[in-house]
Amino acid sequence: MTLVDFLILLLIAGICGSIGQAIAGYTHGGCLVSVALGFIGAIIGMWVARRMGLPEMFVINIGGQGFPIIWSILGSALFVAVISLIARSRA
């Protein structure tokens, strides 16, 4: 994976994380948080999809690596929703 491929992957993960934050309605954090949420969402989303026997949907290949867009958005929305519930219960 080249540097350009890595930067494109970070950009796509950031966009997916931002969309997941918007769906969950929890917008704390900045650009780096969105990128992290995109990657965490991809991991969570693919894990849930495999457990339920669902196919990979809308996978973008970057530098020979696949990045599942739909599962990243859904996984990050799920992760952000859980985080917001935990944060609200502590406040």
Instruction: List pLDDT tens digits, range 68-77.
Output: 899 989 999 9
Whole-model pTM: value is: 0.83
- As a whole number, mean pLDDT of residues 6-21 equals 88
More confident residue, 1 or 16: 16
Please, what's the b/e burial string for 33-71 (b: 16 or more CB within 10 A of its CB; e: otherwise)? bbbbbbbbbbebbbeebeeeeeeeeebeebeeeebbbbb
